[in-house]
């Protein structure tokens, strides 16, 4: 059998019948997945997702799953939006591709750039398009360094980020990021990147009020600036709320203090809004909610709700003015910068977010509801504490509960209770992500109050079965 006929035979009968085992065999034989232990995947076989609608997914065995992670923090408008598919289809017929190099542009890219200038915080009138969040952050590194060259301070090269931050998987993205597991593979971070601690109150705030801890954690930036030398620092970058790191929500005092320190030392401030942008926290951009005014904003994911890849950098007045008025050529760009079909998807996606007032709904209705439901989960014997911000939430599984977040006793890391819990979630038809023993959700912004109830009820059942297993294994204190 040729590979082509083999592949077409995998869909064996009616449109919804798949040969799961054969798909898993081919998958293990040929497809290298991101962030995956391939030997382990080969043993288990990958879950094959074949269809989605609204906030639900179906796998190749016909199992229906409620998607608590919006794909991967991105399907903000929810699945099954025919109008996004139609917009992309029409654009592919009209002009599937043309580049934006050499004095050329295309209609969807122009319209999207103008719309983003309207939607973004005051002072942002320009956008640079990329294909992903990682490329957005690579662009930021190059843009920031070019800015300082043009400003006559080329020695300002160092970019400060935070441990446990995620800024992408390219060399610059992974260097900006603070994931120890990524740095350990292949000599990262590159020179010119430095890191400070994250504002994680549960881990590091013992003995302090949240407000005091926010100021204390922001102070680590000033210490680092003084250690490296202010004249060498180009920028500080952070996610308003850390996503992949486990939905780490900083105290309200943190970002304004970071802003003050950046201004004091004349350092550019970058907000990585790849997850927080386009409504996740109940504001169009996370920096608006957290009360700071960055110079540059990275975005991706929610801009198209993941229907087609697109990312970019919103460039504030200070950097844009220097690049445009003094810069000449900025020798940077991608074949797919301003891809017409991706920009068409974004235009329709943003129209939906606006027409259905999804961002306002997160702020006023679904976000507060998720908060109430997650707070109630802390009554469960396994849940030490739970935090939410908009439609992003995390809860910590603990071996022994305590009177405060600092008095809970964690499970030993080797027991991998978070992964165990994630398996119960998958088996019971709900997707949650495990970051260590912190279980997180970031569902589509289109999720209704009733669907939040459905998701949280399923989560409760899975917490019960996880508890049973943990007790059976003798791990629960």
Which lies closer to ligand PXG via its Cβ, residue 244 or residue 267?
244
Q: Is 17 helix (H, G, I), strand (E, B) or coil?
A: coil
Residues interacting with ligand PXG, by CB under 6 A? 72, 132-134, 137, 166-168, 239, 243-244, 272, 274-275, 300, 311, 433
What residues have CB less than 8 Å from 129, skipping those under 6 apart? 100, 109, 112, 113, 310, 311, 312, 337, 338, 339, 342, 343
Which lies closer to ligand PXG via its Cβ, residue 38 or residue 357?
38
Residue by residue, DSSP assigns 371-422 as HHHHHHHTTSTTEEEEEEETTEEEEEE-SB--SSGGG-BPPPGGG-HHHHHH
Burial of 390 (0-12, 13-18, 19+ CB in 10 A): buried
**CB of 470 vs ligand PXG, minimal distance in Å:** 24
Tokens of residue 442, six digits: 């970031």
**CB of 131 vs ligand PXG, minimal distance in Å:** 8
Which lies closer to ligand PXG via its Cβ, residue 109 or residue 298?
298
Tokens of residue 211, six digits: 């407000």
Burial of 191 (0-12, 13-18, 19+ CB in 10 A): exposed
Which lies closer to ligand PXG via its Cβ, residue 282 or residue 401?
282
**CB of 246 vs ligand PXG, minimal distance in Å:** 9
Residues 383, 390: Cα–Cα separation, whole Å = 20
**CB of 34 vs ligand PXG, minimal distance in Å:** 7
Helix runs in 50-186, H state only: 70-73, 82-94, 107-119, 133-150, 171-176, 180-183
Residue by residue, DSSP assigns 165-180 as ----SSHHHHHHS--H
**CB of 86 vs ligand PXG, minimal distance in Å:** 24
Which lies closer to ligand PXG via its Cβ, residue 294 or residue 311?
311
Position of minimal CB gap to ligand PXG: 133
Strand partners, 387: 394
**CB of 137 vs ligand PXG, minimal distance in Å:** 6
The answer to whether the bond into 11 is cis (omega within 30° of 0) is no
Which lies closer to ligand PXG via its Cβ, residue 243 or residue 282?
243
Which lies closer to ligand PXG via its Cβ, residue 168 or residue 408?
168
Strands 296-299 and 268-272: parallel
**CB of 244 vs ligand PXG, minimal distance in Å:** 3
């Amino acid at each position: 059998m040729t590979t082509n006929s083999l592949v077409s035979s995998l869909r064996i009968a009616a449109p919804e019948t798949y040969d799961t085992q054969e798909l898993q065999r081919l998958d293990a034989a040929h497809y290298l997945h991101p962030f995956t232990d391939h030997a382990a995947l080969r043993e288990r076989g990958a879950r094959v997702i074949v269809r989605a609608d609204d906030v639900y997914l179906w796998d190749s065995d016909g199992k229906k799953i409620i998607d608590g992670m919006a794909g991967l923090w991105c399907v903000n408008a929810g699945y099954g939006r025919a109008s996004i598919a139609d917009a992309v289809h029409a654009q592919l017929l009209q002009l599937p591709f043309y580049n934006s190099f050499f004095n050329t542009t295309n209609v969807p890219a122009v319209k999207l750039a103008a719309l983003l200038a309207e939607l973004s915080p005051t002072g942002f009138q320009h956008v640079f398009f990329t294909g992903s969040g990682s490329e957005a952050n690579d662009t930021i590194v190059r843009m920031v360094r070019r800015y300082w060259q043009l400003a006559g301070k080329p020695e300002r090269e160092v970019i400060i980020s935070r441990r446990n931050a995620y800024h992408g998987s390219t060399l610059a993205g992974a260097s900006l990021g603070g994931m120890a597991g990524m740095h350990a593979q292949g000599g990262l971070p590159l020179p010119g990147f430095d890191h400070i601690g994250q504002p994680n109150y549960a881990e590091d705030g013992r003995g302090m009020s949240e407000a005091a801890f926010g100021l204390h954690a922001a102070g680590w930036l000033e210490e680092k600036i003084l250690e490296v030398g202010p004249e060498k620092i180009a920028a500080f970058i952070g996610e308003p709320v850390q996503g992949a790191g486990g939905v780490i929500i900083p105290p309200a005092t943190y970002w304004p203090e970071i802003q003050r320190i950046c201004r004091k030392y004349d350092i550019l401030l970058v907000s990585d809004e790849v997850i927080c942008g386009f409504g996740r926290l109940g504001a169009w951009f996370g920096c608006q909610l957290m009360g700071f005014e960055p110079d540059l904003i990275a975005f991706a994911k929610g801009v198209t709700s993941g229907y087609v890849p697109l990312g970019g950098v919103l460039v504030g007045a200070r950097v844009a003015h220097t690049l445009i008025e003094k810069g000449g050529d900025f020798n940077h760009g991608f074949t797919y910068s301003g891809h017409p079909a991706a920009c068409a998807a974004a235009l329709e996606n943003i129209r939906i977010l606006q027409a259905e007032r999804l961002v306002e709904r997160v702020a006023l209705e679904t976000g507060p509801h998720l908060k109430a439901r997650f707070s109630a989960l802390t009554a469960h014997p396994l849940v030490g504490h739970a935090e939410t911000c908009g439609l992003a939430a995390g809860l910590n599984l603990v071996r022994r509960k305590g009177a405060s977040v600092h008095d809970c006793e964690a499970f030993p890391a080797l027991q991998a209770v978070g992964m165990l819990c994630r398996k119960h979630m998958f088996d019971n038809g709900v997707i949650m992500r495990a970051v260590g023993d912190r279980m997180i959700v970031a569902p589509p912004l289109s999720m209704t109050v009733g669907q939040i109830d459905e998701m949280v009820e399923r989560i409760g059942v899975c917490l019960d079965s996880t508890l049973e297993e943990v007790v059976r294994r003798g791990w629960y204190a």
